[in-house]
Structure 1
Amino acid sequence: MSEYQQHYQQPPPNPYMHAAPPPPYYPPPGYYTTPGPPLHALANPGMRLVARLLDLVLVTMGVVGGALAAATLLGVGGGDTHGVEGMVGCVGALLAVLCYEPLLIHRYGATLGKRICRLRVARIGDGGNPALGAAMVRWVIYAACNGVLFVGTINALSCLWDKPYRQCWHDKAADSVVVRRDA
Structure 2
Amino acid sequence: MSSPYNAQPSGYPTPPYPGQIPYPPVGGTPYGAYPPPAVGYLPPEAWPAAQHDPRNSPVLANPGQRLGGHALDVLFVFLGAVLVGIVFLLIGRATGRPGSAPESGVLLVCHLVVMLAVVVLYDPVQTVLWGRTLGKRCAGTRAVPLTRPTERLGFGQALSRWLLHLVMTFVPFLGLLNGLWLLWDRPYCQCLHDKVAQTAVIRQQG
Q: 1:99 aligned to 2:121?
A: yes
Using structure 1 for the length normalisation, give the TM-score: 0.73
Shift of 1:156: 0.7
From 14, 21, 46, give the equivalent of 2:64.
Answer: 46
Find out whether 1:118 has 2:140 as its counterpart.
yes
Partners of 1:133 and 1:159 in 2: how far apart? 23
Q: CA–CA distance in 1 between the matches of 2:115 and 2:167? A: 20
Alpha-carbon shift at residue 182 of structure 1 (Å): 1.9
Conserved 8 A contact 1:118-1:181 = yes
SS in 1 for 2:67: helix
- Amino acid across the alignment from 1:46: G
Equivalent positions of 1:1-183 (< 5 A) are 33-35=45-47, 41-75=59-93, 79-81=96-98, 83=104, 84=106, 87-127=109-149, 128-182=151-205
Q: Which has the larger radius of gyration?
A: 1
Q: Distance in 2 between matches of 1:141 and 1:122?
A: 16
Residues 145 and 155, structure 1, Cα contact 8 Å, conserved in 2: yes
Give the match's secondary structure for 2:143: strand
User: Which residue pairs with 1:17 in the alignment?
Assistant: none
Distance in 2, matches of 1:86 and 1:148, equals 27
SS at match of 1:41: coil
1:48 is paired with a residue whose SS is helix
Gaps of 5+ in 1: 1-31
Taking only aligned residues, the RMSD between alpha carbons, in angstroms, comes to: 2.4
Q: TM-score, normalising length from structure 2?
A: 0.65
Q: Which amino acid in 2 is paired with 1:34?
A: A
